[in-house]
Structure 1
Amino acid sequence: MTARIGVITFPGSLDDRDAQRAVRIAGGEPVALWHGSHDLEGVDAVILPGGFSYGDYLRAGAIAALAPIMTEVKDAAAKGVPVLGICNGFQMLVEAHLLPGGLIRNAHQQFIRRDQRLRVENASTAWTNAFDEHAEIVIPLKNADGGYIADDETLKRIEGEGQVAFRYLGVNPNGSLNDIAGVSNDRGNVVGLMPHPEHAVEPGFGPGTPAAMRSGVDGLAFFTSAIAAVVAQAA
């Protein structure tokens, strides 16, 4: 089967087409979805892309979290459908309470863009199963509101239950608590992270890594993971 992965476009989305292309390169079928719709068109997985939805008014992701299609995203997530939030999409997921914690302005109060080292802390989610546990990867990061926060009880819980999916290595670029770069829900089908895997899916175009044959493609495994999860669910 060919996994159909929906990518939702919101007013102010920037990376929706990049996400669609990443899905295609990974071997899936990208399906363009619209924020104002109430129809996920039967997709097997959903991606909320990066950008500045609704101009980041109120809070980054806060208005998008109330978009009509988010009702369907919540229902799909509750049924186990894989959902990925990238950067602004991660902000939407915490605002929609599909993921724990919150995201605030970077500690240095500036927009940042860099190639970022990460460690995969949980390789058993729908979006990380193609990685080795504790693999170190390099993918682009670009945000102004990427500081991950959570109250002490939530932080202790997600650390103890393996819901920290990714951690920053070398440099904490935004002041995130415990160097957290991405988290999952307790079921593992919903994942959000601030860095952009869709910008690291082609050799020679993404950030370099010590493994020359993999240079620039560390983000591809996010999308192949989701495809594998969809195929496994259908079996």
Structure 2
Amino acid sequence: MKTLLASSRARRALEEEREAAKQAADAAIAKVNSPTVSSDAQKPASSDPTTSKLPLGEAHAEEQYARNAAAKAVGSASRPQMAFVETDLSHFATTTNADAFFDLSYEPVLAEMIALIVATEGPVLDAVLARRISRAHGWQRTGSRIVERVEEVARKCCKTSEEEVGTFYWPETTAPGSTVLWRPPADEQQRAIDEVCAEELRSLATLVFDPTKGEEWTLVQMARQLGLMKLRAASRPRLEAAIRAITA
């Protein structure tokens, strides 16, 4: 009975979070479509590679946020869950400057990119955030200096939570530790288990949990949702912790 009550409460919390997500997406889209949004043209990038470039315009940032929020919004019978969507950073193509990456004057550009990624994908793991920023600057590898630079800027503008797998950066509108809906991958944008925060794993456990089945069955269902063909021993502890959290 205690297990059933815990599962029921968690499901109600998920439904409330879905409705809040839909409302947030609608509001973001309405803001983008509002005539009050600036439509100033983006200034062309400087040809001088040593000069830091202007950050992305607010209209573009809000438009990207709205599009990703809409893609994740819940409400249709055909897609009863939110979907995980990677951030489209193409609007930053004319403002990124790899040569200025470590310059203090370039920090506003990095901060804006980080804020958009966290708003779209958050809670997002530090390693994933650094990888997104690195790829946007044309680097195939994400070295320690890049990771440290991204972390330095991200900690100034984002809330965090700490786990054994690393630091998770949270959207401005979501308090660390609060309920996070499970977001299945969209368009095969699969995430590793370690890239999903504990709160979202608990939501996944709640989604597939069946009190008539055993823990092993729940683990298999969670692994399938995560896109894993086989559940390895190294992947089990975080999933087991999520199951214990909703059944304790």
Check whether TM > 0.5. no
Bigger proportion of residues as strand: 1
Please report the TM-score for the alignment, with normalisation by the length of structure 1.
0.26
Which is helix-richer, 1 or 2? 2
